[in-house]
A and B are shown apart, each in its own frame.
Chain A
Amino acid sequence: MVGRNTYYFRFWVMFLTIFLIGFTNKISAQELKHRPFIAYSFGLQKMDFIHQLSAGFQGKYMRLELQQGVGQRNLASGVVFSQTGIQSAYSIQLDKASLHPLFRYSFGLLGKPFGFHYHRAELGMLCIVEWSRFTKIPFDLTFSSGVGRGLEIQAVNNRHRYLDYSINLGLQYAFK
Chain B
Amino acid sequence: MRLSSLMGALLVLWGCSKVNNSTTKIFGHAATGLQNPNAIYHDNSLDAIRYASSLTGCSGVEVDVRMDAQGQLWLFHDELLDDETNLSGSVEEMTTDELTSGHYRTLKKEPLLKLDAATTAELSQGYTFLDLKISGISKAQELKSALLALDIDTAKFALIVSSLSYVDLFKSDFQVFLSINEVTELTSELLANEPGLRGVCIRSANISREEINFLKSIHKEVICYEVRSPKGIRAGLIKEPTYLLTDDLKLTLGLRN
Contact = CB atoms under 8 A, between A and B. Distances in A.
Interface in A139-176: 152, 154-155, 158, 160-163
B38 to A, nearest CB: 5
Given A113-B257, A160-B40, A162-B40, A74 B55 contact: no
Interface residues of B, number: 19
B88 interface: no
A147 B47 CA distance: 23
A77 interface: yes
B165 interface: no
B255 A78 contact: yes
A163 B54 contact: no
Given A73-B254, A75-B230, A79-B254, A160 B38 contact: no
Contact of B250 (A114, A115, A161): A114
A23 B55 CA distance: 58
Q: How large is the interface on A (under 10, 10 to 19, 20 to 34, 35 or more residues)?
A: 20 to 34
Contacts of A79: 250, 253-254, 257
Contacts of B253: 77, 79, 113-114
Contacts of A163: 107
Contacts of A4: none
Interface in B26-72: 37-38, 40-41, 47, 51, 54-57
Interface of A: 46-47, 73-79, 112-115, 152, 154-155, 158, 160-163
